[in-house]
Every structure is written in structure tokens, then in C-alpha cells.
Structure 1
Amino acid sequence: MDDRMDGNDKSGGMKTRSRPGGEGPGRVRQSFSHGRTKSVVVETKRSKKLTKPGEAAPAAAAPASPASGGAAAPRPSVASGLRGGSGSVRPTGGAEAPAAAAAQRAAGSDAKPQRRQGKGNVLKSLSPEEYERRKKALEAAKQNEGARRAKEEAEAKEREAERQRLLKEKEERERKEAEEQIRREREESERLAAEEEARKKADADKKERERAKAEREAARIAAPDPASAPPAEGEGKDRTMRGTPPPRRAAPADDKKPSRGRGADERRRSGKLTISSATSGDEGGRQRSLAAMRRKQERQKRQMGGRGPEREKVMRDVNVPDAITVQELANRMAERAADVVKMLFKSGMMVTINDTLDADTAALVVEEFGHTVVRVSDSDVEDAISTTVDSEGELKPRAPVVTIMGHVDHGKTSLLDAIRKANVVSGEAGGITQHIGAYQVTTDSGAPVTFLDTPGHAAFTSMRARGAQVTDIVILVVAADDAVMPQTIEAIHHAKAANVPIIVAINKCDKPDANPQKVRTDLLQHEIVVEEMSGDVQDVEVSAKTGMGLDTLLEAVALQAEILELKANPEREAEGAVIEAKLDTGRGPVATVLVQRGTLKRGDIFVVGEQWGRVRALINDQGERVDEAGPSVPVEVLGLQGTPAAGDVLNVVESEGKAREIADYRQRKAKEKQAAAGARGTLDQLLAQAKADENVAELPVLVKADVQGSAEAIVQALEKIGNEDVRVRVVHSGVGAITETDVGLAEASNMPVIGFNVRANAPAREAANQKGVEIRYYSVIYDLVDDVKMAAQGLLKPEVRETFIGYAKIKEVFKVTGVGKVAGCEVTEGVARKSAGVRLLRDDVVIHEGKLKTLKRFKDEVNEVRSGQECGMAFQNYEDIREGDVIEIFTTQEVERTL
């Protein structure tokens, strides 16, 4: 072994070298300054190697010293240090150390471990338990490492996929931006070309006018000067009166350069033509146009009392609606509003330009001014909505719209989830559907089918009715382990009223207690005869849990759709029905629309109910943005000015002005209808109603829901709660989050705020805490209706029930000092109690009702006297008692009433 130290070492210049052949194994020769050397032992450290229990330790690699014969030699001790220069080296061991360690390992795990030379560590072999634990730890570490690497690889793949998607979106966006930029540049170039063409044309017209003007000026100069001849008698006066200036005299021939002095510049800038300037011979002044001279003549004639030339009056056809303002009527007649007001004043009507006239008065005004009256109605604004009938050649096949209806908890949403391969039911509060949903599914054959899922709770009758009105086919879901329930019957009635075919889906056929035949028999009571019973209604046994019969159900839908031959024209203005509407915090009013005819595109202007808007975005049932939606496609429409009502019809119109006009007309009609409904009845009827309402306890509530359909269903359910003594009054209902305005209204009316799947914003919560307004949140309509019903029951007065317990007859009346009149009585029936109520009957007529002041048996005060015994009774605050009167004893009990 050759172990050397650098010769540049600062520790005294000590060097270490190995002399060949002169030293044994494990020893080296050290060289020092001044030629001194010394042989020292070098300690060799070996790495520790783990061995399995029971296996022999490997033999020591280092050979034993020949002097020791292979046995472990005692450890030498090097106590003395070698000095040289300014440093020293201390040997740490000899060649015997490796041999001793090998001997100790060969001795087995039971041998006592020996200490390594120069260190304080103890070397020992592992026990079987430790080995197993370490082995398991290593395996677990390897498994964790493999799982971690797999997770990292999956995350890397997801990141790469996301990056690719973003890259594609960026490329698509850049492509669209480039196309838009090219379109804008093309339009800009066309606009510039048109402007350049117009400018050239204007320049040519200007040059032509200048040329014609120059020719006229040359002809005027060449004509003889009439100023040289003496004017005729009266000619100058007439010319001055007419305001026509005399012709200018030609400049002298020798004046080739006109003077450009200060006076000439002032005349040129002034631009006015006067008699003095015209006769002065200066040609630097401007001539007034012929039209200006005519206007001046007309003004002078009006000042002198003349009327001037009469203009021909234009007679117009004036549209007169049911109500119109004076200003609008004057604008339609092209008359001055002041003249219309003056005419009305002469007729005895004190009006202003902002007052409204009825149709008859407006017609008289129009006829007075000589125009023709064209009677129209406000409803004519609806004519802007296209109602043309599509020809047979324009119609194309469309997807069928299928509505799933039935009783609650019969598996409607689960069946639709199995068809869509989704899990909508897991997100429904309480496990029941409380919204109407629209989805489009592509079957295995590639044909699209639109499904509408309706709730089955009794409160959602309006939702089911809307679903039946916009559908082509109704799938009636009935549970095989149940029977035909009330909402099933209601769904049958809705389908018959809408005149749509029915397909019966008997669900939950995988259950042991399923009985599909019972369902078919029950449906006979409601005139639903299935094909198995020789009827014309298709029935399919399905299971949403196992997927049984789903293909057969889709085939039945396809067959029914083929029979119906469903078609629509996609190349026209869109028309659709609002399935659901809500107010989203981030997106504003959002309406779920099922397009029925035409194609709805981004940028279209539409009217829906009392609201209007422009399509800002279209989102399909998968949450993806689309540019257009054809017939039978459900989409969410963004861009509304307000939240429409569920069930409203959406129509696309040509302009924003038409849309706003139609929406204003519908809002005005709705307000008039509401005002008429509130003011219905005579004054006596209103007073009688107010008097009757004095004895009726009301529970006012304020309802805010997430969608329009839920709010409508909740209001209808709450209005059914109550009787002749108590009722629930919904003061206000709406969609969207609970706001500070709602809290203020609730405080003014002393009512709670009910939030259904919505929450109050931060200002509303703070205001509610300050004003003490109760806000209650619900996600299931069952709980909401039950809690309101319990609160309404608390307003009911308890029912008082009387129980007769006895009768007593007065035999004699005594007067006792300090007590008053006391009746000596005999209990003839039942029992007399001091704590019970009493009535005094005289000739079977009640003359007093109250309580006993005292009840005595002989001289003792008692609480009860049985039948056949005598006693003394005295009434509280009443002494008009006589012999022969009868006392009726009874007890009262208050019983809580329920709705």
C-alpha cells in the first residue's frame, strides 16, 4: 500500500513513502526532515456488510501476521508520537486489527462484540426480527417510490394534455383573431376606397360648379352695362324695396391690378354686399347667394305684414294607438307641439306635451289638422315577431324531445343517469330532483335524443306541466315494487292534455319484490293500456341500477320518433321555450332554453317574456361554449337584461329597438293586469274583506330561490298552507342571492327570510344581525314546507274544550258577615270542585259565569264535594243568587290545533 502525503504540507514538511520490499503488509515507511525515517502501522477500515441470520460471516480479507500464525494478535499501543519539524503524526493501529475483527465475526452473533481500535462503536450482527423489519421497510420504501413515480408520471401526462389543450385553444383564438383582423382590414380598405371615390366625385362636382360660375361671370361681364343708361322712373325705389342689389359695374380697362389696400381686405373679409359697395365699382366684395336674398325678402315681407309665399301642406297617414302623448302625436303629424296644445286648449282640455291622450281624442286632433287617422293598437308591436309558416321543402329532421315524468323516488333521475352515463342524482339535495334539467344524449346508432328531467314532488306541478308542453314523447316511470301514485296520475293527465304519446318504463325490476304485472294492471284504471295487454302504449321493463332494458327503451323512443316524423326549419329566426331561469352571481340572468325552431346564434337579439337581450354566450349541457344551437338543442343563454319566467317563449327579432319596444309593452300590460287584479271589487266588498281579515292571523314570509321554477313551486306550496284562522302570505319572491334590500323589506314587515339553495351576501348578513331579521336556509322542499307549517300552527289559537262535571241546586241563601251571600246547595249530580268554573242558571238561562270564591262543607273549607252532599258556595264578585237557582260546574282544557 502506498500512502503518501503532499510534499507542500505545512506540518513541518513531513513526507510519507512506502519502501518496496522493506516493509510487511499494513506498514509504511515515513520520511522526515534531516533524513530520518520510521516504519509505522496503518489501520485499514472496512465497510460493514449485513448478513442474513444463520449465515456465516465472510472471512477476513486481511491476512494474519506470520508471527502470530493466523491467530488474533493483541492490539499494539502506540503511545509515543513522532516529532519532526513543527508537526507530529500519531499512528492509529496495526495489522492485527483486521484479523481480530474477522475472528470476532467468525465467532457468531452470540460472541461478545469487541471494540474497534480508535473508535467507541460496537459491531454486532442483526437478529432475525430486525432483519425482517428492515426488509419490510425496504420493500415498503420501494413500493412507495413506485407509487410516487407512477403518480408523477400521471401528473406529467395530465400537465402535458392540459398544455396541449391550452395550446390548441390559443391557436384557435389566434386564428380567429387573424381572420377578424383580415376582415377588419378588408372592410377598412373598402371604406377608404368608397371615401376616396366620394371625394373624387365631390372634387369633380366642385370643379364643374366653378367652371359654370366662371362662364356665368364671363357672360355677365361681356353683356352691356345697364348702369350707363338712366334708370326708369321708380326703378331705383322698387329695386331698393325688393332688396335686389344693382349689378356691379365693370372695372376700368386700365385697372389691371386691383388695389389690395386695407380697405379692400376689409371688404373681402366682411362678405356683405351693400348698395354703396355695389355701386362703388369695387370687385373685391362677395356676392350673396340667390337663396339668401330670397330669405331676406321673405323676412322683410313678414315684418311689413305680408304672409309670404304659402307652402304646400303635406298630408300624412298618422298611426294612432290606444294611448299616445301629445309630443309623440305632434311628431307623427310633423306639427309643432305648441300648436297641438293650443288646439286642445281651445277645445277645453288643459294639457301639456307630456300628457297622454286616448285614441278618440288623438283621432279628433289628427282630423283637425287635416291628416288621415290610422287606428292601431299597442299590441301591433308584436307583429315584429316572425310568425311565418315554414314550407315543406324547408323542413329537416330533428331530434325528439323526451320528458321523463313520474312519482317521486321512482328512479327518474337514476334512469336518465344510466342513459347518460352520468351521476346527477348524487348531487341532488335530499336525493330528490328539485329542478328541471335538459340534456342531449347520442345513442349507439348515432341519433341524438333530448331528455327533460322533471321533479316528482307534489309542489312541482307547474314544472311537470311545462315539461309536457314542450315535449314530443313522455316516458312515464313507475317503480315495479310500488304502485301508481298521485304524481304518476298527474303526469298521465299532463301528457294527455298536451296530446303527446306515452312510453311506460317499469323501473326497479331487479328487486326481489318487483311486480311489473301489477303496474300494468293499475294503469288500466287511468286508460293506459300497454301492448302486452293488447293496447297501443309501449312498456319496457328496465333497471337503472343494473342497466337492464335501457337499449330496448331507446329503441322504443326511436320507433316512436320515427312514427311522429319530427321536422323543423333550422334556417329561420330562432324560437324556443324557457325551461328554467336563474340569477347567477358571476354571469347575471341565465335562462335554459330549448330551441324549437330555427337556429339561435351568438349576437342574436331576442325577446323572452317581459325581458329582452342579446345572446352573449351559449353553453350546452356539457358546460361547453357553442356558437349556435339548432332545433331540439337545450342551451343556457347569457345576455339577458332581466330574469324571465319559466315557460316564457323566446323569439329572435331584427333590431334592438323592436326588442325593447316589445318588452316595454309586455311589462306595461303585466302591471295593468296586476293593478286590475288588486283593485277588483267594490268599496263595500273591500271593507268587508278587510273586516274579515281582522280575525285571520297571517304569517308573512319572503322567499328567495336559486331558479325561477323552484320559487314558483315554493310559493304555490306555501299558499296552500292555512285555514279560516291562519294563512301564509308570501310578500315577495325572487331568484338570486339574499340582498340587503330583502333584509330591509323583511324588517319592515316583521317576517323571516327563506333562502332555498341560495345564501345571503356579506352586507345582507351584517344587516340581518343588526336588525334582528331571521334568515333560514333550506335545500329540500320537504323541510321548508314542514317548518313553515309548524310556524303557522303556532299562530293558531288553542281550542278550549269544556267538560261538565256536576250540578248543584240552591236550597237557601245565607248572608255571612265578611263573606257576603252564601248559597246553601245540594250537589245533585257529579262533583263540585273549587278550582272548576261555574255558571248560574235561572229558569235554564245563564245569568252569570265565573269561579267560586269559597266551597265549604259544614265549617271546613274543602276542595271537592260529591253528589248527594250539601255544601256552601259563594261566587267571586257576584251576589245576585236566589233560592231555586241551579249551579253548573265544569272544567276547561286547551287543545293545540294543527293544520
Structure 2
Amino acid sequence: MSETENTGEKGTAPSKTLHLKQRPTEHGGMVRQSFPHGRSKVVVVEKVKRRAPGHVEPTKPTPAAAAPSTAAPSAAAPSAPAPSSPPPPPPRAERSHAPAPKRGAGVVLRALTDEEREARARALVDARTREEEDRRRAEAEAKARAEREERERAERAAAEARKREEESRLAREAETKRKSEEEARRRLAGGGAPEPQPASAAARPAAAPRPTTTAPREGAPRPAGGAAPQPAGENADAKRLVARRPAGVIAVKAPTPPRPTPSRGGAQKDRGRLTVSTATSEEEERTRSVAAFRRRTQRLKSFGQAEQKEKIAREVILPETITIQELANRMSERGVDVIRLLMKQGALHKITDVIDADTAQLVAEELGHTVKRVAESDVEEGLFDMPDAEDALESRPPVVTIMGHVDHGKTSLLDAIRQANVVAGEAGGITQHIGAYQVTAPNGAPITFIDTPGHAAFTAMRARGAKVTDIVILVVAADDGVMPQTIEAIHHAKAAEVPLIVAINKIDKPDAKPERVRTELLQHEVQTETFGGETLEVEVSAKEKLNLDKLLDAIILQSEVLDLKANPERSAEGTVIEARLDKGRGPVATVLVQRGTLHIGDIIVAGSQWGRVRALLDDKGAVCPSAGPSFPVEILGFSGTPEAGDRVAVVESEARAREITEYRERQRREKLVARGGGARTSLTDMMSQLKTAGRKEFPLVIKGDVQGSVEAIIAALDKLGTDEVGARIVHAGVGGISESDIALAEASNAVVIGFNVRAHKEAREASERGGIEIRYYNIIYNLVDDVKAAMSGLLAPTLRETMLGNAQILEVFDITKVGKVAGCRITDGSVERGANVRLIRDNVVVHEGKLSTLKRFKDEVKEVQAGQECGMAFENYQDMRVGDVIECYRIEEIKRTL
């Protein structure tokens, strides 16, 4: 660095500031630092040069050669061509350290360092490189621009040539059309009159004949009337035509074929091949025929009509979702037109894509059609609950449902009324199925009875019976009183808003107390006539058949008050009471017809199943041709087993039946998917999922005889589940156990349960091969108890600690090959070998483990009592100290149950 002195502007003395003086050295310099009060210090500054990659260290020039070498780049710099862009500015460090010239003094050029020379050389090379690149880029752009302009000129010239050619072609067509029209008018008007010669041809005979230079060829045709050969003028015209043909093409004058004899009036026009001779002959001009002209006119008319075809506006029915192809078909439009319209709106679709109703409405209205929006649920419109005219209604039998607690005599009472023995066929003496029967009262009026199970698991069956009934008979045992299922039946009857008749059964028993039943019913808001209420009550005995006629009279009286009517002439409607899968007959559904009349051959829909009625069977198994209102029948012909409780309706066609069942099947699948867990869950669902995250599951495959039994089993097993263990129903269905059920159980490691059904032969063989257990049951509470016991085995046992005793360490001995052994005195209780122990030091538990050694003197003992001394050693623990307390205890596992 060079020192620079700054003088004041007005000649003032320079201020004393800190400055550096540099002494040049080979790689640095000596710098003197001056401080106030005359102090100074010399500092050596060394500068390390930065080497560029691939740079060769130049030899140090002599002082004499430094000036020319320094001046050479500066002199060569002005002669170099100016770069297209200004060179980059020098580094900031160089600018900041460059000494400023003194005011009023000459500028002294300093010598450039090697780094500065290299930087300048690199800058020059970069400038030349950029200049060369800019030059090449400009040349390429100029060349591309010239090519583009040349191409544009060629395109313009070609376009002008095409335009001129099109204009000439149109002119020729117009002239040809004009001549054709004139010829057509001439022929239609003159009917074969001689064609007038053109002006050029008419003027030729007037001219002087020229000598012929070429003789006519032998066999050449002559003009009509034996005229002489063509004059020289025509030969000149032919020569001119030949002169205009392309080089290398030789025209040969073919002989003109003889004209055929006209079949219809008039001369036949020669339609031979067009040659030079025929073109220059005196014959008539070659024009379009009348038939060709008519065909062309007709074609032009039909083309114009096709373009001006009027568009038909249609009413398009739009469901909630529709494919683009279906939308185009309903509008009678092309699919590409619909896709093009959607692309204009910013949506790219394929013809098979599904769009919503709003988008489809916009497309249809844009194309000029009207829209009628419909929903998927509209397929069920008009299926149920259509009103009937008052004059078409007729009286119908009442539907009576018998409800009550288990073993209160409901089925026995119905058997006594029907004079049947249904109880004998029920397993365990309890009703496990819902049944429908029709009985004739003493006055000849029919009454339909529905028998419901009384077991706690059959809640859904009782609710289903209460929904389809007109009157509920509540059977209460006089010796048992009001029980839980009795209370549940009262609630079902109140929910269905149907009248109640109380039948106090088993009055023949010695401990029967009917007054107790009436009193207990008051607690549930059921007030009988004896106590001044409106509820009818009858004391009966199913075993002794007492007062059964009074019960039937009460039912008839109540039905007359209700004035039950229905229209038997309309399409049938009803409810599925029970459904099962019969091995020989297929799906069988017990249906209670509520309105209309059901006939064999009708097409019916029940839930997601449909079918054609093949047979109707009454409660006794007899075939009946039709079933009227309030008549229970078994229907054969369903495509699958319907759900118990589904409503049944007759439809007009199979297409409508398929449409309804497909819609219901989609709804059912969507509900199953939503129930299985989706993205939208509530906070309650999330908390329940967290609780059941580590839950153990007991997989089951359940097959039952009827739909109601399967439903009851699933409901009962769901109630058994806890936060720790629960039953998972892998599959539940109606019918025998099939091979597919065994395969499903094998895949999910489940147990197969059959309720009143058996496995097929193939299923039994498959279960034996796969080791799958099949359990058969015919009583529901036995099934529930076994599953409950099996699920209890999955529960983790409860651990209970039993204290044995305490000991205090008196001394710790270190024994070779054994380790540390604590000499202890038993202070309380006893200590057993192998028991669990805790080592307590200063009231803090420092170790928990087991005793490995318990010795009394030198012998291994099993137990040491209180007050005695012994030696103890722990498993995998040696840190025992004098004064520690050893607590001995036993852990017992207690089995848990649900």
C-alpha cells in the first residue's frame, strides 16, 4: 500500500491520525503503525496469492522489464475491439484500497500486480468471447428471419395462385353450367331440333379454302353427307393444340366410333372419347347430359336441406349423476359436442366420465334443451301408501300379536285357540321363531294371530310384531306377575299406538294371584277395566282351556271399535314377518298382506330382493291361489332371502323391480362403508375407537334357520362385548353351513356356529381338513352362554398380591461361586423359597425379584417361620446391605368372567 497525506482545503496543518506505512517485500511488506504521543510500531504484513486452477506461477520480472510489461496491456487495451457489454467493475477490495491522488499533484501510475494483469487478461478474453457469441447469435437470427420472410413470401404467392386458380375454376364451372342450362332448355323446347353452330364454325365455310398439306388417313371418318376432308383452317387449329401440349407427349388421332342407332326419338348424341380430332371437329359441343344435370340439381337441393335441418329441443331427464355418453344419447347430440362444451368451461373429460346433475343441466341448457331433475329415490315413488277411495274399502280381519315374558304360556294359549300343538316342536319348550296363523272365531269371523318369542334376545321380533299388528294381547302368568319382557311388550305396544288386551294366564294354578297382576300393571300405566280403566282383561287357562271364547269375543269387540278396512282390489302391499332359506324350495318368506290381494305370478319387491310369486302357502301348508288383506302366507319365488321386517309391494314389470332393488342395494353398501369407518367421524367415534384400540376380538361365522333368529343372536352377542373383548361377526346368514362358510372361517380363524341348521357334506369334509370347529345349537341361551365363556377366556386375569412375611438383613456374606448371601432374621410371617420379594432400603423399594436361595444353617429349606434366622440370595441381584428389609409376597391370578 502507498501512503497518502490529506491536507486541508484552507492550508491548515494536517491532523494527527493513525496511518500505515508499507515497506515492500517479496510476498508482503513492513507496515509502520503510528500512535498518538509519538509512539510507533513496525508490523510485517504477508500476503498469500490466490492461484487459479491450472495456473502456472510466472517468473518474477526484473525492475527494468516491469515497466514495459506493465505498459503493454494498457497499450493493447485501446486497440482491442470494444465488447458488446461493458467489462465488469474491479473488485470492491481493489477500489477501496486504491490510493487517492493528492490534490494539486500529478497522477503517478503504479505498477500492476500479477493478479491485476491476470484479471484484465481474463476480462479481455471474456469480452471477446461474449462479442463472438453475440455476433453468431445475430447472424443466426438474421438467417432465421430471412428464411421466415422467404417462406411467408412463398406462402403468399401460393395463396394468390390458388386464389386465381379457384376464380378461374369457378368461372369455367359457371360457363359450363350456363351452357348446360341452355342445352337443356333447347332440348326440352325443340325436342331434338338441330343444334345451332357456333359463330366460329359458321364463319369457317365463308373463308377461302386452304390447300391441304396432309392427306386423310385410310379409314378415317368423313363428315356427314359425304363431305370433303377437313379444311386447312381446322388443321391449323389442331396444330395449335398440339403445340400447347407438354413435350414428349404424342397425340394419336383415334378413329371415331360409329354412332349407335337412337332407341328413342331424335338423334343420339356422340359420347365418345374426347380427343384432339373430336375437340376440333364441326360436331356439336360436348356438354353434360340432361340426366346428369338433374342428378346434380337434386344433389345440391338435398345438400342445402341437410345444412338447414331444424334442431329439435328435447326434455332431458337428469338423475343425480350421469355419464357423458348417456347425456348425449338423451339429448340426441354427439358426445364430442358435449366434451367440447365442457372443455370451453375448463373441464377435460372422457366420454365415459360421470358428471353431476348441475354440470349436466348447464350443458343441456347450453345446447337448447329443457331439463327435468330427478333423484335416485324417485324410483320408489308411488310404491307404498297410495290412498284408496272410500267406496273401495271393505272390512278385513284383525291382526292380533301375542306378547309377553318367556314361559308365561303365549304359544300354549295360541295352541289352545288353534287346537294345535306348536309347543311340542319348539326346542327347550320356548318359542324361538315368530309365527303367523289364522283362526276362525265362534261367530265365523277370521282372526290373524302373530306369535312372538318371549326370550330377551328376541326384542327385534317383538318390535316387528307390534308394528304390523292391530291389537296386542299381553299374556301375564298369574303366578309370576309382571316381568322384564312384559314391561318391554307394554312399551312396544305404546310405541305402535295399538290397543292392549291383558290375558291373565295360568289361573288354574293354586298360587295364582290375578289381583297381583292387575296391581303391578298399574305401575306401568296399564289400568284394566276392573280398576276403572279402558284396557280389557280376561282370566284364561291355556292348559284347562278356560275362558278362551271370552278372549275371542274381546278381540272381536275391539276390532269392531277400530273399524278395520282395506281395499282388496288394488296391488298388494305387506310386510315380511320371517324369512328363511329352504334347501329344496329356496328362499321362503312369511308375509302378512296388509292391503290389496296377492296372486300367483305377481312381480314383488322386498328390500333389496325381488322375484315372481311361484307359490302361496297358508299356515297349514296348503296351496292357495291368492291372499287378501290380513292374510299370512309363505311366498316362494324370491331371488334371495329378504330381511325380516322389509315391506313387500307388487310392481308392474321386471325392469321396475330391478331398478328398485339395485337402488336399495347401493344404499345398503354405502351404509356398510360408512359404518366401517370413513374420513368423517365425530369426536365420540374417535374416543370409542381409542378405547377399543387394544380390544381382543372373538371371530364368529353364524348361520341360522330364519332371519329373525340370526338377528336375535347378533344382538345378544353384541351386548356381551366390553372394552377389552368383544365378538366380531365375520359373516351371518340364513341356511345350511356351506363350504364357502368354512373357507371364510379358515381365513379369519373363526368358529362356525349353526343355529337349527346343519353343515353340508362338503362343508363337514372341509372343516375336518382345515381343523375348523363347528358348533350346533337349538336353544339360544345355550349359544349365548358358551360364547360368553369362550370370550371370558380372552380376558386378562386379575393379579392379587398375598403378603407372606418380612425379614431384616443382619449380615452380608460373600461366598465364592455363589455370590452375596444375606443373613436375615424373619420378623413377621414366613418366607418361602421361590416367592416374590422386594428389597426395601430407607423405606424405598430398590429391587423386586425372586428368591433363588433359602437356607437354614447349611440346608436348603422350603419355608422359614418368624423368629428364625436364615440365609437368602436374590436372582440377578447382589447389592444387599446390612439393615435392609426384605418383603416376601405371592402373586395369585384370578380368572375374570363377563
Shorter-chain TM-score: what band?
Answer: 0.5 to 0.7
Distance in 2 separating the partners of 1:278 and 1:354: 52
- SS of structure 2 residue aligned to 1:663: helix
Distance in 2 separating the partners of 1:590 and 1:277: 81
Contact in 2 for aligned 1:384/1:653 (Cα 8 Å): no
Q: Structure 2: 5+ residue runs without aligned partners?
A: 1-186, 199-261, 267-285
Does the C-alpha gap of structure 1 residues 232 and 849 become closer, same or farther in structure 2, counting only changes over 3 Å?
A: farther
Aligned to 1:754: 753
CA displacement 1:281-318 (0-9 Å, x = unmatched): xxxxxx99x9x99985578x5xxxx8943211111222
Distance in 1 separating the partners of 2:383 and 2:448: 26
1:225 Cα deviation from its structure 2 partner: 7.9
1:617 pairs with one of 615, 618, 640? 615
Does the C-alpha gap of structure 1 residues 683 and 548 become closer, same or farther in structure 2, counting only changes over 3 Å?
A: closer
Does the C-alpha gap of structure 1 residues 415 and 227 become closer, same or farther in structure 2, counting only changes over 3 Å?
A: farther
1:407 Cα deviation from its structure 2 partner: 0.7
- SS of structure 1 residue aligned to 2:307: coil
Aligned to 1:446: 444
Aligned to 2:365: 367
Aligned to 1:540: 538
Do structure 1's residue 877 and structure 2's residue 884 form an aligned pair?
no
Aligned to 1:596: 594
CA displacement 1:312-368 (0-9 Å, x = unmatched): 111122222211112221121111223323433454434333321112222222123
Distance in 2 separating the partners of 1:501 and 1:294: 87
Distance in 1 separating the partners of 2:814 and 2:582: 82
Does the C-alpha gap of structure 1 residues 838 and 678 become closer, same or farther in structure 2, counting only changes over 3 Å?
A: same
1:680 Cα deviation from its structure 2 partner: 3.7
1:462 pairs with one of 446, 460, 463? 460
Aligned to 2:192: 228
Does the C-alpha gap of structure 1 residues 684 and 543 become closer, same or farther in structure 2, counting only changes over 3 Å?
A: closer
Aligned to 1:648: 646
1:843 Cα deviation from its structure 2 partner: 2.9
Aligned to 2:804: 805
Distance in 2 separating the partners of 1:510 and 1:226: 126
User: Once structures 1 and 2 are overlaid, which stretch shifts more, 460-469 or 497-506?
Assistant: 497-506
Distance in 1 separating the partners of 2:807 and 2:305: 112
Does the C-alpha gap of structure 1 residues 424 and 688 become closer, same or farther in structure 2, counting only changes over 3 Å?
A: closer
CA displacement 1:611-649 (0-9 Å, x = unmatched): 222222211112111121111001111221221111111
Contact in 1 for aligned 2:710/2:732 (Cα 8 Å): yes
Contact in 2 for aligned 1:808/1:829 (Cα 8 Å): yes
Do structure 1's residue 562 and structure 2's residue 560 form an aligned pair?
yes
- SS of structure 1 residue aligned to 2:381: helix
Structure with bigger gyration radius: 2
1:764 Cα deviation from its structure 2 partner: 1.6
Does the C-alpha gap of structure 1 residues 296 and 604 become closer, same or farther in structure 2, counting only changes over 3 Å?
A: farther
Aligned to 2:711: 712
Contact in 2 for aligned 1:401/1:472 (Cα 8 Å): yes
Distance in 2 separating the partners of 1:359 and 1:891: 73
Distance in 2 separating the partners of 1:818 and 1:810: 21
Distance in 2 separating the partners of 1:629 and 1:298: 67
Contact in 1 for aligned 2:384/2:573 (Cα 8 Å): no
1:877 Cα deviation from its structure 2 partner: 1.0
1:545 Cα deviation from its structure 2 partner: 1.2
Contact in 2 for aligned 1:587/1:638 (Cα 8 Å): yes
Does the C-alpha gap of structure 1 residues 326 and 829 become closer, same or farther in structure 2, counting only changes over 3 Å?
A: same
Aligned to 2:470: 472
- SS of structure 2 residue aligned to 1:459: coil
Distance in 2 separating the partners of 1:770 and 1:298: 82
Contact in 1 for aligned 2:586/2:636 (Cα 8 Å): yes
Distance in 1 separating the partners of 2:298 and 2:837: 108
Alignment of 1:249-268 (within 5 A): 251=264
Paired letter, 1:489: I
Distance in 1 separating the partners of 2:852 and 2:430: 62
1:229 Cα deviation from its structure 2 partner: 5.5
CA displacement 1:567-625 (0-9 Å, x = unmatched): 11112121111111111222221111111111111222222112222222211112111
Contact in 2 for aligned 1:384/1:658 (Cα 8 Å): no
Distance in 1 separating the partners of 2:580 and 2:195: 89
Aligned to 2:395: 397
Paired letter, 1:613: G
1:654 Cα deviation from its structure 2 partner: 1.9
Distance in 1 separating the partners of 2:355 and 2:494: 48
Alignment of 1:335-374 (within 5 A): 335-374=333-372
Contact in 1 for aligned 2:408/2:477 (Cα 8 Å): yes
Do structure 1's residue 679 and structure 2's residue 643 form an aligned pair?
no
1:870 Cα deviation from its structure 2 partner: 2.5
Distance in 1 separating the partners of 2:195 and 2:847: 129
1:521 pairs with one of 519, 522, 547? 519
Contact in 2 for aligned 1:719/1:730 (Cα 8 Å): no
Aligned to 1:829: 828
Paired letter, 1:769: E
Contact in 1 for aligned 2:479/2:513 (Cα 8 Å): yes
Contact in 1 for aligned 2:808/2:885 (Cα 8 Å): yes
1:846 Cα deviation from its structure 2 partner: 2.3
Distance in 1 separating the partners of 2:374 and 2:467: 33
Paired letter, 1:542: V
How many residue pairs get aligned? The number is 629
Paired letter, 2:667: K
Do structure 1's residue 413 and structure 2's residue 377 form an aligned pair?
no
TM-score by length of 1: 0.66
- SS of structure 2 residue aligned to 1:712: helix
Distance in 2 separating the partners of 1:227 and 1:495: 104
Aligned to 2:795: 796
Distance in 1 separating the partners of 2:543 and 2:468: 29
Distance in 1 separating the partners of 2:197 and 2:620: 98
Alignment of 1:758-797 (within 5 A): 758-797=757-796
Does the C-alpha gap of structure 1 residues 684 and 524 become closer, same or farther in structure 2, counting only changes over 3 Å?
A: closer
1:373 Cα deviation from its structure 2 partner: 2.6
Aligned to 1:848: 847
Distance in 2 separating the partners of 1:573 and 1:450: 21
CA displacement 1:763-810 (0-9 Å, x = unmatched): 222222222211111111111111111111222222221101111222
1:517 Cα deviation from its structure 2 partner: 1.7
1:457 Cα deviation from its structure 2 partner: 0.5
CA displacement 1:91-135 (0-9 Å, x = unmatched): xxxxxxxxxxxxxxxxxxxxxxxxxxxxxxxxxxxxxxxxxxxxx
Contact in 1 for aligned 2:692/2:723 (Cα 8 Å): no
Does the C-alpha gap of structure 1 residues 758 and 232 become closer, same or farther in structure 2, counting only changes over 3 Å?
A: farther
Distance in 2 separating the partners of 1:838 and 1:680: 51
Does the C-alpha gap of structure 1 residues 695 and 422 become closer, same or farther in structure 2, counting only changes over 3 Å?
A: same
- CA RMSD between the two structures: 2.9
1:682 Cα deviation from its structure 2 partner: 6.1
Contact in 2 for aligned 1:743/1:767 (Cα 8 Å): yes
Contact in 2 for aligned 1:473/1:503 (Cα 8 Å): yes
Distance in 2 separating the partners of 1:455 and 1:492: 15
1:828 Cα deviation from its structure 2 partner: 2.0
Contact in 1 for aligned 2:321/2:355 (Cα 8 Å): yes
Distance in 1 separating the partners of 2:192 and 2:783: 108
Do structure 1's residue 815 and structure 2's residue 814 form an aligned pair?
yes
Alignment of 1:630-645 (within 5 A): 630-645=628-643
1:492 Cα deviation from its structure 2 partner: 0.7
Contact in 1 for aligned 2:609/2:638 (Cα 8 Å): yes
Aligned to 2:156: none
CA displacement 1:29-77 (0-9 Å, x = unmatched): xxxxxxxxxxxxxxxxxxxxxxxxxxxxxxxxxxxxxxxxxxxxxxxxx
Contact in 2 for aligned 1:582/1:707 (Cα 8 Å): yes
Do structure 1's residue 742 and structure 2's residue 741 form an aligned pair?
yes
1:227 Cα deviation from its structure 2 partner: 4.4
Alignment of 1:73-222 (within 5 A): none
Contact in 2 for aligned 1:810/1:883 (Cα 8 Å): yes
User: Once structures 1 and 2 are overlaid, which stretch shifts more, 358-367 or 589-598?
Assistant: 358-367
1:676 Cα deviation from its structure 2 partner: 1.7
CA displacement 1:834-872 (0-9 Å, x = unmatched): 132111122333222111121223333322222233222
Q: Structure 1: 5+ residue runs without aligned partners?
A: 1-222, 235-248, 254-274, 281-286
CA displacement 1:738-759 (0-9 Å, x = unmatched): 1111111010001111111112
1:692 Cα deviation from its structure 2 partner: 5.3
- SS of structure 2 residue aligned to 1:616: strand
